[in-house]
Amino acid sequence: MDHPVFFDCVGPFTLQEMADATGAEVPAEYADRAASLKTSNVRTLSDAGPGDLAFFDNRKYMAQLEATKAGACLIHGVFAERVPEGTIPLVTAKPYRAFALALAKFYPEAMWPSVADPDGPVGVHASAELEEGVIVEPGAIVGPQVEIGAGSRIAAGAVIGRRVSIGRNCYVGALTSLQHTLIGDRVIIHAGARLGQDGFGFAMDREGHLKVPQIGRVVVQNDVEIGANSSIDRGALKDTIIGEGTKIDNLVQIGHNVVIGRHCVIVAHTGISGSTQLGDFVVMGGQSGTVGHISIGTGAQVAGASHPKEDVPAGARVGGTPARPLRQWGRELAVLAKLSKGGGDGGSNG
């Protein structure tokens, strides 16, 4: 059975209503259709269907724009002619800001996500489903419609938010908080970790920084371990995914829409920016980090305190800031060390 959604959509709305809500304009040739045609949800270009509203604000996704099946798309006028036949452009100078306003209209409760029933009992909510052998320690809160599998343990002070699902033989550490999260079997989450809170999404301009509602989830697959005080943001529209067998150290930050493959190792103080994708068996050293919207290929290794700003090929080993092939980085460090020593000697001449 499909898991229930975490946020309820209050649509549908006509395209004209969405244009009014977002400050977009409907081209004259589509005005009649926009007054009656309804859209039921907001989705990405790649996922949207005829009943959905999408948005385009990054040239990197031009191919997705040209292939989208969306019924309508929030888009800058410069690109309005690039939408495919069957997609109505809603023209705006600020597509990302308009997208934020559209999400807020469809999902008003996303700005104030529910964790527990304020009028319910302290501890385990009556609607939660706990299989045999589940242990909930004193001070933990298990919210409405939570599902916890057999043999799992919820430590003191942990907060398990509404509709969260936890598999079998898991351990959720003290003072951990889980929201909008689906967890597989045999997962270990250490004390103080935070999963499923808002992603860091703002439409930023001179009018101020408009918060973008985040309606995705965090999906943690089987046999994952997440270190103390690490933070994993939920997706904006899609899910943030942690692949099977991945091990995450303490104090790691994983942004919204990140996809991490199977059996990766993410060492302490690493930061992975939104929409980055890691293949399987990737290793990221301590204090490393990535910019957003790049891919780290299967089997790649990123040295400690290194920061890729472009895609890293499968099997590559990179280091430095910006990260480059490990041997090149090593040679550069050696040359700098030699020049530094030589400069000191040269200073005594003349």
Quick check: 302 and 283 in contact, CB under 8 A?
yes
Could you give the 3-state DSSP secondary structure of residue 121?
Answer: coil
Q: Cα–Cα distance between 128 and 130 in angstroms, integer?
A: 6
Quick check: 324 and 318 in contact, CB under 8 A?
yes
**Strands of the 271-272 sheet, one edge to the other:** 141-142, 159-160, 177-178, 194-195, 231-232, 253-254, 271-272, 289-290
Write a three-state SS string for 8-49.
Answer: CCCCCEEHHHHHHHHCCECCHHHHHHHHHCEECEECCCCCCC
Helices (H), the chain: 15-22, 31-36, 62-67, 95-106, 326-346
Q: Cα–Cα distance between 55 and 67 in angstroms, integer?
A: 13
Catalytic pick among 76, 256, 263, 307: 256
Q: Which two tokens stand for residue 251?
A: 């104090």
* 256 annotated active-site: yes
The residues annotated as belonging to the active site are: 256
